[in-house]
Amino acid sequence: MKNINIVLGICGSISAYKSPLILRELVKAGYDVNCIITSSSKEFVTSGTLSNLSKNVVIEDLYDKQFSDDGAWHVKLAHKCDLLLIAPCSAATIGKLANGICDNALTTFAMALPSDTPIAICPAMDYTMWYNPIFQENLNKLEEFGYNILEPETGELSSGLSGKGRLPEISKIIDFTKDILNKNSSTIANEDNPTNKTKISKLNGKSLLITAGPTKEKIDDVRYISNFSSGKMGFAIANEALKRGALVTIVSGPVEIAKPNTNYISVESAEQMKDAVMELQNETDIFIMTAAVSDYRPKYKFEGKIKKENQVKDEIKIDLVENPDILKIVGKNKSPNQIVVGFALESENEIVNGRKKLISKNADLIVINKSGKDNLVFGSDFNKITIIDKKYEEEFDSMTKSDCAIEILDRIESKI
């Protein structure tokens, strides 16, 4: 079970005293376990005990100083996690999860999980709370969202009453956990160690075509029209996709950064990029169009170098024509099984303009970069993106382009 990471969430139920026993059994089974606890759970269990059993630091607070130097710990741990198990899960936490309330480390972490990472909860409370209609409505919401729920058992409760609400036996919780991992995590064996298993990405074996960088449109032999795109976003996506086992082809304009170790097609103009993309149209499963393609090109290219003395006074006039819209062409010709992702750089009304682009280009996702003082997109190692499809929009705080790549590919995987 090496490399399978479980995050164990522990809430403020009196059943929390059983959590160290659950943790011990998970570790004995070979899982790597990180614990996130709520403030009220500390009334029943100590972080020292959990840390000693898990051999990992216990996360108690969203702004824990131990993690403050590591940026968005909840996002990084979310992408390492194969299963979030909350045992016990209190009525308060279930209400927060059902309504998107992120006011502590555990609920914020749950919100940060990729959509294909399973969440399992083991509710435990007094029977009057279990049958409360508001609680039942929240529990039904979680079931509709795809949560795995192990219902409590009936028996004597801590209140002295008897009814439904007891945390199930630890052996049942462990079996419940293993069943979910077996159903949700396809695995492959490492050739050097057959017991070393890791989750297979849905991108494994898929062919991805990524356009990146700027294009250059020649005016004459020494001058051109272009933009400040560095290619970093496209290359970050390529590197992350390669980690997930995808077969990546990059079609890139001129860039000055290290190229990913994959199939690489170098182009210069928008026409060349279009031709390279269309040649691979039928062989590609997923198109990710990050390139900043020049919208226009000179109608006529001058041979040699335009001499100043040959121009009238201090003016030069260059007629421009529109370049091919590569994203639109790909979207128009895509098959039902192909996924097309476009990028949009917007300075205002970004969501409205992004949705217009989503529809007009027949794309499945649009990643919006908002251009401005707070988000210097070109050349930067950071980006602030919003991902939209026809039904939702998801805005992210500024993060590295590598982290943006993780979020983008996670959303793509959810559509496969």
389/272 Cα distance (integer angstroms):
29
Parallel/antiparallel/unpaired status of strands 393-395 and 385-388: antiparallel
Parallel/antiparallel/unpaired status of strands 83-89 and 5-10: parallel
Distance (Å) of CA 361 to CA 295, 322, 358: 15, 16, 6
58/50 Cα distance (integer angstroms):
7
385/403 Cα distance (integer angstroms):
11
Distance (Å) of CA 21 to CA 26, 39, 53, 87, 173: 9, 20, 9, 11, 11
Concerning whether 310 is annotated as a catalytic residue, the answer is no
Q: Which two tokens stand for residue 50?
A: 């959990």
Distance (Å) of CA 133 to CA 127, 130, 139, 356: 12, 8, 10, 42
Contact (Cβ atoms closer than 8 angstroms) between residue 298 and residue 282: no
160/167 Cα distance (integer angstroms):
15
**DSSP per-residue codes, 62-103:** TT-TTTGGGS-HHHHHHHH-SEEEEEEE-HHHHHHHHTT---
Active-site hit among 227, 239, 362, 375:
227
Contact (Cβ atoms closer than 8 angstroms) between residue 153 and residue 168: yes
256/265 Cα distance (integer angstroms):
15
- Residues marked active site are found at 227
